[in-house]
Every structure is written in C-alpha cells, then in structure tokens.
Amino acid sequence: MEMNDKNGIARDLGVELCGVKLKNPVIPASGCFGYGYTMSEWYDINILGSISFKGTTLHPRFGNPLPRVAECTSGMINSVGLQNPGIDKVISEELPLMRRDFSGPIMANISGFAIEEYTECCKRITGESQVEWIELNVSCPNVHGGGMSFGTSCDSVAEVVGAVKKVTTLPVIVKLTPNVTDIVSIAKSAEDAGADGICLINTMLGMRIDLKTRKPVVANIMGGFSGQAVFPVALRMVWQVSHACSIPVVGCGGVSTAEDVLEMMMAGATAVEVGTANLIDPLACKRIIESLPDAMARYNIKSLKELKDL
C-alpha cells in the first residue's frame, strides 16, 4: 500500500510475511488489542497490516488473581494469565465479530500448557477464513516437563513446533521469550523444527514492591515487563536472530513510534508488532501508520522493502 508523505510523494508501506501480503508492517500485539473489534470504536482498524488476537488456549481461562498490573518507568508489568474464553468460543463468537470490522489477514496467537493443547488448538483454527498465520506462544510453562517454559529449552521448542507443523497448513510464527541465555540457539531450534517465522520478543520477567505494604504489587509476585524500556533488548534480539536464521522475523517489544518501526526493520524485522503502546494510547497503531510516510521521507526511504536488504 502506498501513502503520501506531507510533500505528496508516494511511499510504499507494503510488506510480505510468510507469503501473505500486508498493506503495512504494523500489527497490534496479542494481549494488547483484544480481538480487535472493540478498538473499531476508536478508528477504522482496516488501516492495520494485521491483528494478532488475544492469546487463546484450548479451555477457557479466568487468569491470575488481582492485582495483575504494576506501573514502571517507561513500561508496565502484567500478570493477566492468558484470560480468554477458549478456542471454541473464539472460533464461534470472537472471530465473526472480528471479521465484521476487519477485512485483513488475522494472526492467531495460540498458547498451551502441554503439546496436546497446542496441537488441538492449531487444528481447530486451521481453515478459518482470514486466519493466515499461527503465532505460537511458547512462553507457557510445560506442565508435563517440570513446569519450565517451553521457550527456554531448544528441545521443548523443537518438540512443540514439530508437533504443530504436523497438524496445520498455516505458516507457524514462533513467539519467543527473551528470558533465556542464548536466544539464537532457541530460534534456530524452532527454524530447524519447521517454523516459518520467529516473533521477538515476548515480555521480560519483572516485579515491583509496594513500599507501604512491603509486598509485591502484583498478586502473582512477578509478571511480564513490557513497554518502551525493553525496546533496546528487543532490537538486539531481532538483529541477532535475523542474521542467524533464514526465516522472517517479526519485531516486538517497546515499539511506540514510526521511527521504532523503521529501526526494527533495519535490524532485520519483516513486520512489527505494537503492544503496550496500545494500552497507553488506543490510537497508537493508527498514529504510527499515518506517520510512517513522513518518517520514511526523513530517512530517504521510498519503500519499506528496501530495508530488507540491509
């Protein structure tokens, strides 16, 4: 898709992710945009490149106990706990509402606590109209593997990716946790197991303490740290993985401006997800997309596809 900058010069914002064309690279990240349709009250969400819908599990989840959110300098901590209605209701109730207001490609964020949960969800979502990719959240604890997150072990990442690839025809983009010592080895394990793309990064692990009560602010003690403060870490990991793997990388973590999008793409990202910025400013994605042509003009970028070759 072309959009004119303030001087009337056309700038090409179009990108292609795992064979799917997007009008621009901006995608609201899972968990920060619901299922999209509620945001249509704020603006026409068809301006978006795609939407990664709320993390979905096989069975309904009510999430973690309250309080679930803590403020931080240039960020936030959340411990929502994958609250969602379960895959069947997402398919029967949420997706129809999503399609009503959004005509673009949809990214299905799938989570699980056992291999069988991942595969069953992926089987059920495959074939749903507009769903073009599965975004596999491997940051969940493996209940059959001692409780360690799937995404912290090369073997467990390979196992879940391999199992999912056997049950779906959709491209599988694996969203990795940054809470590891060697992100490249984890990403390469996903690639070797058949992943079609990598998304970096999921939230970091953090906590806050209330000085008055002398207790953790979040009931679950720790939670996912996100926001502008994590951008340099996300950018570093995007650079490392995009230069080590041959599959596309989706950049995520602290993105809040058009310049952040350009920086992520210069680091090697094919598309970019916007997360916490949506919770601060519901118009964040719209603002970023509309300001991209002028940002491209400032840095003499005619087409975003140029950045892929850096």
DSSP letter for each residue of 80-149: ----B--HHHIIIIIHHHHHHH--S-EEEEE--SSHHHHHHHHHHHTT-TTEEEEEEE--SB-TTTTT-B
- Identify the pLDDT of residue 147: 60
C-alpha closest to that of 16 among 8, 24, 28:
24
CATH of region 2-309, choose from 3.20.20.70, 2.40.160.150, 3.40.630.10, 3.90.1640.30: 3.20.20.70
Neighbours of 180 (CB within 10 A): 18
- Residue 308, pLDDT > 80, answer no
Share of the chain above pLDDT 90, in %: 95
- The catalytically annotated residue of 121, 122, 140, 252 is 140
DSSP letter for each residue of 215-242: EESSTTS-EEEESGGGHHHHHHHHHHHH
Cα 106 from Cα 63, distance rounded (Å): 24
Q: Tokens for 91, please give them.
A: 């398919």
Every domain of the chain and the residues it spans = 2-309
Rounded to a whole number of angstroms, the CA Rg of the chain reads: 18
C-alpha closest to that of 5 among 260, 299, 255, 251:
299
- Identify the pLDDT of residue 142: 64
Given a contact cutoff of 8 angstroms between Cβ atoms, the answer to whether 288 and 3 are in contact is: no
Which of left, alpha, beta for 163 (phi over 0: left; psi -120 to 50: alpha)?
A: alpha
Establish whether 32 is a catalytic residue: no
Prediction pTM value: 0.96
Cα 120 from Cα 58, distance rounded (Å): 7
- Identify the pLDDT of residue 86: 98
What band does 145 get if pLDDT is binned at 50, 70 and 90? Answer: low
Cα 17 from Cα 150, distance rounded (Å): 24
